[in-house]
Chain A
Amino acid sequence: MLQVARQIFHFSSLLGTLTSRDLKARYRGSVLGFLWSLANPLLLLAVYTFVFSVIFQPRTAGANPYALFMVCGLFPWIWLSTSLLEGTMSLIANAGLLRKAVFPAELLPMVSVLSNLVHLLLAIPIVAVALLTGRILNYPVGGLASLLLPAVILLELPMVAGLTLGLAALNVHFKDVRDLLANFLTLLFFLTPVIYPIDTLRTYPPLYWLVRLNPFTPFTLAYQTTLFKGEYPSPYLWAQMAIVSLVAWLGGSWLFDRLRETLVEAA
Chain B
Amino acid sequence: MSEPNPAIRPAIQVTGLVKLYRRTAPGDQLRTLKSALVERSLTKNLKREEAIVALDGVDFTVAPGEAFGVVGGNGSGKSTLLKLVAGMLKPSAGRIEVAGRVAAMIELGAGFHPEISGRENVFINGAVLGLSRREIQRRYDDIVQFSGLADFMEEPVKNYSSGMYVRLGFAVAVHTDPDVLLVDEVLAVGDEAFAHRCLRRIEEFLATGRTLLFVSHSLDLVEGLCDRVLWLEGGRQRLVGEPRRVIDAYRQEVAELEGEAHRAAKERREERAERRQAQEGTTPEATDATLRWGSGEAEIAELRLLGPDGAERYHLNSGEDAVFELKVRAAQPLADFVFGIALSTPRGHEVWGTNTDLEGYVPTRFEGEATVRITCPALRLAPGEYKVDVAVHSREGAPYDYRKQALTFTVTARTGGVGVYFPDHRWEFGGGIEWGSTG
Contacts and interface: CB of A to CB of B under 8 A. Distances in A.
A255 B116 CA distance: 33
B124 A262 contact: no
Interface string A233-267: 00000000000000000000001001111101110
A11 interface: yes
Given A101-B106, A101-B110, A21 B88 contact: no
Interface stretch (A12-20, A66-74, A206-214, A220-228): A12-20
B29 A261 contact: no
Interface in B116-163: 116, 120, 123-124, 127-129, 132-133, 156
A14 B126 CA distance: 9
Given A21-B116, A28-B116, A103 B111 contact: yes
Of residues B111, B123, B132, B133, which shows the largest number of chain A Cβ atoms within 10 Å of its Cβ? B111
B36 A100 contact: no
Nearest to A22: B113
Interface in A76-123: 96-103
Contacts of A264: 83, 88-89
A99 B88 CA distance: 8
A24 B110 CA distance: 19
Interface in B42-97: 42, 83, 86-90
A102 B110 CA distance: 10
B29 A101 contact: no
B191 interface: no
B196 interface: no
Interface residues of B, number: 35
Contacts of A258: 36-37, 40
A174 interface: yes
Contact of A102 (B21, B29, B32, B102): B102
Q: Chain A CB within 10 Å — which of B22, B123, B127 has the most?
A: B127
B107 A174 contact: no
Top-10 shortest CB links A-B: A100-B110, A25-B115, A100-B107, A14-B127, A101-B110, A262-B36, A173-B33, A97-B111, A261-B90, A28-B115
Interface of B: 21-22, 29, 32-33, 36-37, 40-42, 83, 86-90, 102, 104, 106-107, 110-111, 113-116, 120, 123-124, 127-129, 132-133, 156
Interface of A: 11, 13-14, 17-18, 21, 24-25, 28-29, 96-103, 170, 173-174, 255, 258-262, 264-266
